Structure 1
């Protein structure tokens, strides 16, 4: 039985194996550039953001400064995480879509059902990424509002964790599904029908994205892992693929 962690491990070894490394260079370069730009911007503005945040705190709440400051830092880290994730995948989507197609060809011995070539795959991947954003952003806004509602917001950490895992699953498992002509709505249904593999895979990818710098090199492995998960769990639900049975 192929589980999420095994898929990620196999996927990472696969993309850095001989013959596949050339497909990883551009995604890694894009991730490095986005990472460097965001890190430079955040470090340059963090102090100003913190001062501005603290200036909005009423004087009668000054005694809570010790609590407000770490809450701001946590909120900022969450915001940076989601921003980095969304921006990186929007820019790297063309390369990830093509990488997923090459991995599927090597692993299964057959190309995706819609093998469109690099340029067409890239263009379609960007369009699909915009569809994902239209799905993800409104739900992020709802969770953000919930986070500020007294009593209800005690559930917000759990909700954010589940949503983050779901978002990562949608983001990565969609690459092989898009390459195989699975619509976005059908993709969500397939993921929802296999809740445990979906959330565990998304959860592991989410943890990877939190590893500074290392995430730049591990995310292409998550793309390959998504192909393995697709072939085992989602291509033909209920049956195992011969190519991944050994």
Structure 2
């Protein structure tokens, strides 16, 4: 099948199907779902603390970056800093959504590696793990997550700013934002299964870019689910399971 066909509507729908296959797998293995909730709950607590602190100090941050407004009238100065503080907190929320997966996977690496391995065992057996020292594997995962975060920021910050542009910010930007966030969510969620196959970061990115249909279908649906309050926590084990199925069947079989 050609790449263009694979990246069309059928590819998008197949990505959606992989997400639901992950949901089905954890529904059949509720203990594994509970097992996968632990790191997601830890990450949630950390993010709640961080967002509460950001909300508490957003006004002070706005004041620090707008010293030029000190001489303005109180009404104009306070309005500017309120809007800037609100924008700062909103940007923090956006970054929380797009980085939650990477942080949760970093916290719960052993949990999700075991979960992904059990998914593969159910599908016929997991490939052998690469003979790489643990410290090197951890260092590589952290480095790859930081690089991915850099890409996320490179796209998310300009899109966030464009969100304030009338019409475009309420129509085009949300669609582009969901696509970008979905793509990078898939990058993170497929990393476990791809690393097990010995695929370096550049090769993983190349495979994902070459088959955008299922990647976006899976990732955008995951992104929308993660926007639901506590959705990221509840759905994280299913997302890892679904990403593992997708890698095995479509992106890097074998």
Band of TM-score, shorter chain: 0.7 to 0.9
Partner of 2:142: 130
Structure 1 stretches lacking a partner, 5+ long = 242-246
Give 1:64 shift.
Answer: 4.6
TM-score of the pair, normalised by structure 2 = 0.73
Instruction: Show the 5 A alignment for 1:44-123.
Output: 44-54=53-63, 56-57=65-66, 58=69, 59=72, 61-62=76-77, 63-64=79-80, 67-107=83-123, 109-112=124-127, 114-115=128-129
Change (3 A) 1:24 1:222: same
Q: Which moved more, 1:50-59 or 1:71-80?
A: 50-59
Q: Distance in 2 between matches of 1:28 and 1:116?
A: 26
- Residues in 1 aligned to 2:130 and 2:30: alpha-carbon distance in whole angstroms: 21
Q: Is the 8 A contact 1:11 1:225 kept in 2?
A: yes
Pairing of 1:5-16 with structure 2 (within 5 A)? 5-16=16-27
TM-align CA RMSD: 3.4
One of 179, 204, 209 as aligned partner of 2:226: 209
Q: CA deviation at 1:115?
A: 4.4
Task: Decide which of 143, 168, 176 is 2:185's aligned counterpart.
Answer: 168
Larger displacement relative to structure 2 (93-102 or 128-137): 128-137
Query: Is 2:58–2:89's contact at 8 Å kept on the other side of the alignment?
Result: no
Aligned residues: 230
TM-score (norm 1): 0.75
Question: Is 1:222 aligned with 2:239?
Answer: yes
- The range that moved more, 40-49 or 191-200, is 40-49
1:24 aligned onto 2:36? no
Structure 2 gap segments, 5+ residues each: 1-9
Q: Distance in 1 between matches of 2:134 and 2:231?
A: 25
Are residues 134 and 84 of structure 1, via their aligned partners in 2, closer, same or farther at CA, if it must alter by over 3 Å? closer
Is 2:98–2:185's contact at 8 Å kept on the other side of the alignment?
Answer: no
| Change beyond 3 A, Cα 1:145–1:7 | closer
Confirm or deny: 8 A CA contact 2:18 2:243 kept in the other structure. Answer: yes
Residue deviations 1:216-243 (CA, integer Å, cap 9, x gap): 121110111112212332135xxxx9xx
**Matched position secondary structure for 2:190:** helix
Q: What's the counterpart of residue 200 of structure 1?
A: 217
Which residue matches 1:244? none
